[in-house]
Structure 1
């Protein structure tokens, strides 16, 4: 093999990895509680990861009717309870992650309800602006798909 062919072959793999990583092939982009404005490309998979305490009955749900399915579709989710120091109450810190597929160009809202021991907000008058506390609240995310 000529030296010039070896060099081009050696460069091809790293360049391919860099190009594919921008396409979301190696995982989805993750957004947190503070990322209230999300921009993704059509076809991308993205995650919304929020602080939660599943073992203590503090978790999230998507408020119906949910995001516009022509723009964004929920693909799944998971709860991760990290256990923390446990303590007498058995609680620990964790997260709850929702996975979405960006379907087509457009803008939609994802309204998340933070529930504490099954007590969820029952009106639009509660909108959380910071991290969730012990009171039920809504977080509203605006998703723009390019």
Structure 2
């Protein structure tokens, strides 16, 4: 009986953990940014929020979180991707999901290394011109 219960529990975890959906169901407050912008963000303590950037991996976009924010102010939860349209080469959106914590201010930088492949450094001049940061100044009240 214990083996069946354990097996059922493991199966349930595998089924719920393996799906086409995102890891989180609540993106919270959406804050849009773009390369070359600095966006102020004001939140209350305990609020879920997502930093949102348009992306299209098929043309070379590859957004990443440069460094985690001050963990006293905000905690990183996950990075989620949503494709718009079903066709090959369709663009989409990347969501960097966080929870606000205690009052304070922190800066969160996202970096799009355009056509960098596995590297974090642009390989040529065109890649350097197309790459860039989106900066978010997060203040928790």
Q: TM-score range by the shorter chain?
A: 0.5 to 0.7
Counterpart for residue 67 of structure 1:
69
Q: Deviations over 1:15-49 (max 9, x none)?
A: xxxxxxxxxxx861111116700000010001111
TM-score, normalization by structure 1: 0.63
| 1:54 corresponds to which of 44, 53, 57 | 57
CA RMSD, Structure 1 to Structure 2 (Å): 2.5
Deviation at 1:91, TM superposition (A): 1.4
Counterpart for residue 100 of structure 1:
98
Structure 2: give runs of 5+ residues left out of the alignment: 1-25, 123-128
Counterpart for residue 76 of structure 1:
78
Count of residue correspondences: 106
Q: Residue 72 of structure 2: SS of its match in structure 1?
A: coil
Counterpart for residue 30 of structure 1:
30
1:58·1:117 contact (CA, 8 Å) conserved in 2? yes
Q: Does 1:141 pair with 2:133?
A: no
TM-score, normalization by structure 2: 0.65
Structure 1: give runs of 5+ residues left out of the alignment: 1-25, 123-133
Deviation at 1:114, TM superposition (A): 0.8
Tell me the distance in 1 between the aligned counterparts of 2:134 and 2:121.
Answer: 11
Counterpart for residue 47 of structure 2:
44
